[in-house]
Amino acid sequence: MNIATEQLNEEEMLQRYKDAVEKALPRLPVKNGVVDIDSLWVELSIPYSLLREIISRKDLALPDNVKRIEMKSCLGEESEKTTGQER
């Protein structure tokens, strides 16, 4: 880790993860306007809990063809399954 990374606060780190999610979304498969959280997880390898926090942000920009991100995981632990976040 370099000094610049060590000096980032939590909000700055979340912003970087949010940017990564926004860049990954156009590359993911979309079915009926829905992207699965599992697709994001496979693409980015960000923990589900952090993905959920990022997806829940009001300032997350979705591509025009994405209406929502399904937050029910087929791969994650049973305790992490929830309903989709509607946009």
- Residue listed under structure tokens 């590359």: 27
Whole-prediction pTM: 0.76
Round to whole Å and give the CA distance between 64 and 75: 26
CB count in 10 Å sphere of residue 66: 16
pLDDT, one tens digit for every residue, the chain (87 residues): 555 556 778 889 999 999 999 999 999 999 999 999 999 999 999 999 999 999 999 999 999 999 999 998 887 654 344 444 455
Q: Where are the domains of the chain?
A: 8-70
Q: How many whole angstroms separate alpha carbon 15 and alpha carbon 33? A: 24
